[in-house]
Amino acid sequence: MAPIHIGSLVFDYQAIDVIGPCDLLNSCSKRLITALSFFGPVNAEALARAPEFVFHHIGETRDPVRLLTSALTLTPTTTVDDCPELDCLLVGGPNPVNHQIPPKYVEFIQRHVAKGKLLFTICTGAAVVAATGVLDGRNATVNNVEYDWVSKRFPDVKWTKEKKWVVEGNIWTGSGAVAGMDMIAHWIKENYGLEVLRQGTLSLDYEPRDIDGLFNVLPQRYDEAGRKISTHVFP
């Protein structure tokens, strides 16, 4: 199986919007599941089906960028001019009131979507992508707190907040930051199977929710006395 190339545009986004999904994807990779076998048994099905991911943090230049939160500074690993072909692009959320998307980023997003490649937006990342025009006429969602402001600013998008995320063709838009992680978890389960997701979330001690915000993604298990067993315990 060829590695899946995941790219994220670097700007002043909320740190968890990108770092959370990338850590989840990495935790579900064959490389990390193999590494965990040093500490104890890993699920054989998960190891067999797990993909490999290659991550690219894409800047206008390779100069460090200060993120919106947590006093973190991120140095891009590549630029929009030098970035290799991506399978998936991930766009995190900035403060949408002050954010100005660079023209090179606009063109990069437009080309990526036009090729039919997968695009994930997290939180107000949907506002960044809406500014490029690629969401016009499509169903999408965004963080509930900024929902009214964003929907009025980009009226050509079919905004909804009925679900935690929205899938419209090759574009997946998530609402808040953790809902975005839940969306990525669903994508992993859909493409690589439940056991890959279960093994990956085990190392993060993370239980994802479904599209309605319910904790039923990982099937519940009970012992003979009817007591709930951790969803991360393998049969």
What one-character-per-residue DSSP string does 98-140 give? T----HHHHHHHHHHHHTT-EEEE-TTHHHHHHTTTTTTTSEE
Task: Sort residue 234 into left (φ over 0), alpha (ψ -120 to 50) or beta.
Answer: beta
Go through the domains of the chain in sequence order and give each one's CATH number.
4-229 (3.40.50.880)
Q: What does the mean pLDDT of the chain come to?
A: 94
Instruction: Count the neighbouring beta carbons within 10 Å of the beta carbon of residue 141.
Output: 28
CA distance 126 to 114: 17
pLDDT at site 224: 66
* Structure tokens, 112: 């990526």
pLDDT at 24 over 50: yes
State if pTM tops 0.95: no
Average pLDDT over residues 78-98: 97
